[in-house]
Amino acid sequence: MAFNSTTSGPRRIRRVLVDDESASINYFGRWDLVRNEFAGAGNQGPPFESSLHVLRPGLGNLSFEYEGSSLEVFGSVIKRERDQPFDADWECFVDGENIGKNTDLPDRRRQNRVKLCEWRSDTAGRHTFTLQATSRRDEFALDYIRYIPASGLPDGPVKIQIPDNDPSLNYDSGWTSRDAGHSTPVVGATVSFTFTGTLLEWYGFLPRDFAESSSAAQLTIDGGTPIEFSARALEASDRDNVFNQMFFKSPPLSAGQHSIIATRLGRGDAPLTLSYLVVENGVAFDAEPGAGTGNNAPPSGAAALPPSGPSGGTIAGAVIGTLLGLALVIILGVLIRRWHRKRTLPMIQPLPGFIKPHGPTAPLEIDLVNSRRSDEWYPPPRSGASPNHRRSARPRWNPEFRETVTSLSLNPPPVQHAVPSTSNPSVSGRDFDTDSIRTLDPPPGGSSNMYKTNSPRRPPMSDLDPHSAGYPYAAMAPELDTYQRLVIATKEQEAKKSSSRPRESYM
């Protein structure tokens, strides 16, 4: 994009012209299309493409979406009464924000190409322009919209306005720069231009300080036959300069690049002037600096787009990208830390001689009912005691409420049992080793029938044969560390105390 560079300082820029008849403008309300009715209204020339959209009395609005930056809206002021103010009203918005309106309207009763509102922005993007209008005695009329395009152009026919000081225009020394454009009174003065498009229109101005007779000029397209046109002079009734006058319109051209050469012929004293060119389906961006070779000094007061720094979209993208990158680094750090912790955690290795079991472990009989209290008489009531007297001492465990848990192993890892030895015969009707059940001694004075089993008392773990039912705890003490041996010894002491402590029976 080369909007802001030129061979001789700041210059105007190319813009897209959107006529009121464009399908990209959406109208809501009582809008009427008017053609060729106000061609002579004021000194700004006829409406663009000779058409207007007029809002009949009442409310109406319109919307227009575009890809670009700065935008201008033009219309016509048509007063019903000469001495009354223009009473139609309107408000302009870009992306929902009120951008104000032009209140400095001409004093004329009728004037075309009046700037209604303007929005300046250095940031190109997708925008939506909306306008709300009210027509009363005087009616609101829209002519065209002009904006600075972004990198792409909308689909369909597009008209590009190319200013008189575009670098692609090559003026010879006979041309001078004026407020309204370039002009030459010199016979034989030429200007050349290379462009891409399918049609070209030449717009000039009529200065009041020149003679009263029109002159002639000619234009050659792609080296073909010259086409003659008139460089008109002001009418005797005109008191002001007249602008936006179409001097030449080419026939339809093939898509692609073309070149023109315009020459002033004379036969009158009116100068040949150029304010801008309009190219249909043209290129929205200027040629590279240095393409022009003539006098490209800008007219006085020519608008130039100031250089812009990073756009808001670029800054927002940088901030969002930085935050996402920081979040990614944090997540990656957490994952690496978890992976490192898993690798450094100690692993529990199986005990020496461990064999993974292929079947269920031996059932263990455990009394888990530690919340059930005996509610029986204990000890037996003495003679004369109250029948409601119950023992208030500490609660006793009732051996009648025992639960056998057959799926819980208290000493993981699971044990692979060896084949039962002859010294530990199986109890008839059962398929587990009776050596796994300890013989409990009855309490003093209690019945011993419920505590007896059919197997002898388990020998100490250190005396077990490696292939007996006590494996793998037999003969492994030398290989266990101090902590493991301590755990085993503690369990043996607790087992001995449990077997030697007399149990209390309930009467």
pLDDT along the chain (507 residues), means of 10: 33 86 96 89 92 96 95 94 89 97 88 96 93 95 95 79 96 95 96 96 90 88 96 80 95 95 92 96 62 38 38 69 88 85 64 54 46 45 50 49 44 51 44 44 50 48 52 52 75 78 54
Which residue has tokens 């007399």? 502
**pTM, two decimal places:** 0.56
Looking at residue 105, its amino acid is L
Which residue has tokens 């979209």? 313
Q: CA-to-CA distance for 296 and 251, rounded, in angstroms?
A: 28
Residue 499 has a pLDDT of 72
Contacts of 438 (CB under 8 A, 6+ apart): 453, 457, 458, 495, 499
Looking at residue 295, its amino acid is N
Residue 480 has a pLDDT of 52
Q: CA-to-CA distance for 453 and 36, rounded, in angstroms?
A: 122
Residue 151 has a pLDDT of 75
499 and 438 Cβ atoms separated by less than 8 Å: yes
Contacts of 382 (CB under 8 A, 6+ apart): none
Q: CA-to-CA distance for 25 and 451, rounded, in angstroms?
A: 101
Residue 467 has a pLDDT of 54
Q: CA-to-CA distance for 137 and 79, rounded, in angstroms?
A: 8
Q: CA-to-CA distance for 214 and 272, rounded, in angstroms?
A: 9
Q: What's the fold here for domain 15-156?
A: Jelly Rolls (2.60.120)
Strands, E assignment, 439-479: none
Q: CA-to-CA distance for 415 and 468, rounded, in angstroms?
A: 12
**Are 15-156 and 162-280 equal in CATH topology?**
yes
290 and 7 Cβ atoms separated by less than 8 Å: yes
Residue 496 has a pLDDT of 81
In eight-state DSSP terms, residue 233 is -
In eight-state DSSP terms, residue 330 is H
Q: Could you tell me which CATH number the domain at 162-280 has?
A: 2.60.120.260
Residue 502 has a pLDDT of 59
Q: CA-to-CA distance for 463 and 470, rounded, in angstroms?
A: 10
Residue 242 has a pLDDT of 92
494 and 434 Cβ atoms separated by less than 8 Å: no
Residue 504 has a pLDDT of 54
Residue 209 has a pLDDT of 78
| CA 382, 387, 392, 394 torsion-angle sign | positive
CA distances from 70 to 20, 91, 161 (A): 18, 17, 14
Residue 463 has a pLDDT of 53
How many residues are given for the chain? 507
CB neighbour class for 197 (10 Å; exposed up to 12, middle 13-18, buried from 19): buried
3-state secondary structure of 19: strand
Domain boundaries, given as residue ranges, for the chain: 15-156, 162-280, 355-373+395-507
